[in-house]
């Protein structure tokens, strides 16, 4: 089983991927952890070949849960995925989550990805590429792109779970656990 968890910034992709990975006993791969390097340098922009190579290596495994939205590597992930979990929550839910997450991260000053030294800084909250602004500015366009992508007949072999509220997460995880058990 290979599960791609998608959704706008702040929707809870990483938390959902971790829950799925634990419930399914599968490795989890966070695309942000592959992408973000020390000093907030992102491979997707500054070294796309390395980013693609690292994601290809990670996605080559027999089973996984991957979370992330990078369009550069989406085709290779979708080509390998067996399932897609789309966190398609209302904008109010997403914004509340991204605000709460950013606030807590700026308070704790915890490193976001081990070894990078990258921490949340509240002074960046209004930057166009900060998750708060990014989630707000890209919400509608991202939803439309996902709808179009997942309507494409090329993706019909994928099992799609489109979650429209956080309350649907638990039942979705249980459904995938049952599917995995039936495969074994």
Instruction: Please tell me the distance from the alpha carbon of residue 176 to that of residue 180, in angstroms, as a whole number.
Output: 6
CA distance 69 to 166: 19
Asked if 42 contacts 113 with a C-beta cutoff of 8 angstroms, the reply is no
Inform me whether the pLDDT recorded for 105 exceeds 80: yes
Helices 91-108, 131-151: crossing angle, 10 deg rounding = 140
The pLDDT assigned to 183 comes to: 86
pLDDT value of position 153 = 85
Contact 73, 43 (CB under 8 A): no
Domain with residues 2-183, CATH architecture: 3-Layer(aba) Sandwich (3.40)
Task: Check whether 26 has a pLDDT greater than 90.
Answer: yes
**What per-residue confidence (pLDDT) applies to 157?**
82
pTM for this predicted structure: 0.94
Q: Where residue 122 falls among pLDDT bands split at 50, 70, 90?
A: confident
CB neighbour list of residue 51: distance below 8 Å, 6 or more residues apart: 34, 35, 42, 43, 44, 70, 72, 73
């Amino acid at each position: 089983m290979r599960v791609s968890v998608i959704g706008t910034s702040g929707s809870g992709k990483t938390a959902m991927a971790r829950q799925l990975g634990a419930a399914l006993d599968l490795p989890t791969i966070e695309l942000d952890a592959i992408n973000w390097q020390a000093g907030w340098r992102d491979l997707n922009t500054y070294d796309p070949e390395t980013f693609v190579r690292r994601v290809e290596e990670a996605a080559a495994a027999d089973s996984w849960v991957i979370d992330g939205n990078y369009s550069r590597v989406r085709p290779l992930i979708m080509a390998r995925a067996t399932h897609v979990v789309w966190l398609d929550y209302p904008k109010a839910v997403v914004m509340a989550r991204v605000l709460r997450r950013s606030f807590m991260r700026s308070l704790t000053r915890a490193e976001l990805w081990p070894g990078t030294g990258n921490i949340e800084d509240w002074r960046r909250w209004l930057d166009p590429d900060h998750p708060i602004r990014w989630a707000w500015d890209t919400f509608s366009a991202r939803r439309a792109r996902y709808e179009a992508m997942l309507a494409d007949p090329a993706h019909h072999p994928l099992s799609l779970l489109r979650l429209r509220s956080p309350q649907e997460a638990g039942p979705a995880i249980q459904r995938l656990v049952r599917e995995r058990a039936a495969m074994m």
